Amino acid sequence: MTSPTLGIAMIGHSFMGAAHSQAWRVAPRFFDLPVRPVMAVVCGRDRGRAEAAADRLGWASAESDWKAVLDREDVQVVDICTPGDTHAEIAIAALEAGKHVLCEKPLANSVAEAEAMVSVADRAAERGVRAMVGFSYRRVPAISFARELVAQGRLGRIHHVRAQYLQDWIVDPAAPLSWRLQKEKAGSGALGDIGAHIIDAAQFIVGDTIREVCGTLETFVSDRPLASVHSGLSGTAVDGGPTGPVTVDDAALFLARFTGGALGSFEATRFANGRKNAIRIEVNGSAGSLAFDFEDMNVLHYFDGTDDAATAGFRRIVVTEPQHPYLDAWWPAGHGLGYEHAFTHQAVDFVRAVAAGVGPTPSFADGLQVQRVLAAVEDSAAARAWRTT
């Protein structure tokens, strides 16, 4: 294959790193791409672990300093898979170094950082350098197809959006105080971690933005056993071991009004016992409705309000037809995709946009807008009243 290549550097190599590696590895094998991504280098603070990751995940080399990556001529793309508190610094430096950037969500841990990133991305775009934020669920085919149906006007005027992201991984009070439960590291709890996903997905599907919100946050378990005695946090666990305070939200709920007049109800929680990764989105419009649940990710339920009343009903569309987004690259109808395919589709869209010289979406500006919604929810929860975004 003599097609031109696009050298990728991935910063960070844990959960998201594994997903992104799979995407870069698989995308050119199923999709016709104008340029071929090359897995040039993976970067991690610990050199030994970075090298092991390179070997395991299939990267050609490893680095321990992300700044060194920016000097490499074989790198045209920086793929940021690190925690949110590092995004701004890396993304800004990469863009300024002329590297295209794919940055995991959330764009940043604060609106201010996100604003700075957007500013840099805007200037970079003028030089043909592209930036994208990784709201991968947009590329689940059922969600992409939901967007298509709304864009075609199949739902008419949108009245209702209800979106839930339900997990249960810390419902046990004995679950340890991981870094994700500490505000200084994670920035936010359920709200920023998973609430951000349903905000983006809901706005994407309806093609509209949230104008104002009223929310509440809750931390059900305020102290947890320390994962390590060296963490420097204080307290005593039930079994006598040391505990520390949980400083982020376990759950976040908010009502929303969209610019176009739709009402929204959002809920993100890590305490929905029995729900592992249930992303549920339902949209009701004047001409029809849609419903999705990530627990059955290859299915979209669609109610066509123009069907005659006797035979109308939510259609269980198995989103595996060649007419569906991304599906003609994969298997015959009825053969479902999995979680990581959304990352592959994200890589495909990113590569195509870069090659075509257009701005990929969701842009950094889209990521900033989500950040503003998150901030408005936090403000609203503190004020116990509605806040505009």
- Residue list 245-274, contact with a copy of itself (CB under 8 A): 251, 253-255, 257, 261, 263, 265, 267, 269, 271-274
- CA distance from start to end of the chain: 48
Nearer to a copy of itself, 240 or 338 (CB): 338
Draw the binding track, 9-48, toward a copy of itself (x: CB under 8 A; -: no contact).
------x--xx-xx--xx--xx------------------
Residues 8, 131, 297, 375: which binds a copy of itself (CB under 8 A)? 297
Residues 82, 136, 284, 363: which binds a copy of itself (CB under 8 A)? 284
CB contact at 8 A, 244 and 175: no
CB contact at 8 A, 106 and 84: yes
What is the nearest approach in angstroms of a copy of itself to the Cβ of residue 278?
7
Residues 64-83 within binding reach of a copy of itself (CB under 8 A)? none
Burial (CB < 10 A; 0-12, 13-18, 19+), residue 145, is buried
Residues 196-235 within binding reach of a copy of itself (CB under 8 A)? 214-216, 218, 220
Count of residues interacting with a copy of itself (CB under 8 A): 100
Tell me the DSSP string of 131-189: EEEE-GGGGSHHHHHHHHHHHTTTT-SEEEEEEEEE--TT-STTS-B-GGG-HHHHS-S
346 binds a copy of itself (CB under 8 A): no
What is the nearest approach in angstroms of a copy of itself to the Cβ of residue 160?
6
Rounded to a whole number, what is the largest CA-CA distance in the chain? Answer: 66
Residues 91, 149, 348, 375: which binds a copy of itself (CB under 8 A)? 149
According to DSSP, residue 293 is labeled E
Residues 159, 183, 211, 372: which binds a copy of itself (CB under 8 A)? 159
307 binds a copy of itself (CB under 8 A): yes
302 binds a copy of itself (CB under 8 A): yes
What is the nearest approach in angstroms of a copy of itself to the Cβ of residue 135?
16
**Distance between CA 270 and CA 250 in Å, rounded?**
6
Draw the binding track, 313-342, toward a copy of itself (x: CB under 8 A; -: no contact).
xxxxxx-xx-xx------xxxxxxxxxxx-
Which amino acid, one-letter code, is at 206?
V
Cα–Cα distances in angstroms (integers) from residue 311 to residues 156, 292, 303, 306, in the given order: 20, 21, 11, 10
DSSP H or E segment with residue 304: strand 299-304
